[in-house]
Structure 1
Amino acid sequence: MATTVRSVKSLIPLLDRVLVQRVKAEAKTASGIFLPESSVKDLNEAKVLAVGPGALDKDGKRLPMGVNAGDRVLIPQYGGSPVKVGEEEYTLFRDSEILAKIAE
């Protein structure tokens, strides 16, 4: 079940959480043909919108995060905590669940 909030800017991830938005697959081919919704799959690529300050180790020191806001990342097909803001959907993952960072 998705949680509903009014503004994505009001979402501030805690500890090692990462707020991402999936990149939408193209619904039109390069030649201009529109694809039906049933043939367009969700991509595993997402844009990082916000990151938490990092988890605490056993000594109480902050562990650095692996990603930063604005990064493009690969995320698991399933998992995370969905959050709905208006018609847009976002997902919260733990930093350790992010599969890879995509270099520009």
Structure 2
Amino acid sequence: MSLSMKPLADRVIIAPAAAEEKTKSGIIIPDTAKEKPQRGEVVAVGAGKVADSGNLIQPQVKVGDQVLYGKYAGTEITIEGTDYLIMKESDIFAVL
């Protein structure tokens, strides 16, 4: 998946995973009760953060990484009809 947008500094763009449609036991979850996903795929990465010393700190994530992030992290954006999240790299908790 390629975007025509490049995030600045230490920001990343994430394609969130789809919300769960049913529970493990097979109960279908209605749209009003679905939780926001906390997992997604990195689709674009900024150049990195500039430290106080002036050195560039490279990002730890790369395009294609599956990541876990906070439930309310980032800002929701829509590009060409597809929903994405844009957030700082520090809002990502783990790479799967």
Normalized against structure 2, the TM-score is what?
A: 0.82
Residue identity opposite 2:36 in structure 1: D
Report the CA distance between 1:62 and its aligned residue. 1.0
**Match among 28, 42, 55 for residue 49 of structure 2:** 55
1:69 Cα deviation after fit: 0.5
> Hey, what's the Cα distance between the residues in 1 that align with 2:33 and 2:76?
23
Q: Could you tell me the percent identity over the aligned residues? A: 33
The amino acid across from 1:79 in the alignment is A
Matching residue of 2:86? 92
Count matched residues. 95
Distance 1:78 1:35, change over 3 A: closer
Q: Does the 8 Å contact 2:67/2:92 carry over to 1?
A: yes
Q: Which residue of 2 aligns with 1:70?
A: 64
Aligned equivalents of 1:72, 1:90: Cα separation in 2: 14
| 1:16–1:26 distance in 2 versus 1, CA, 3 Å | same
How far residue 52 of structure 1 moved from its aligned partner, in angstroms, is 0.5
Which of 17, 20, 34 matches 2:14?
A: 20
Q: Alignment RMSD, CA only?
A: 2.1
Which ranges in structure 1 are unaligned for 5 or more consecutive residues? Answer: 1-7
In structure 1, what residue type is equivalent to 2:72?
Y
TM-score (norm 1): 0.76
* Long gaps (5+) in structure 2: none
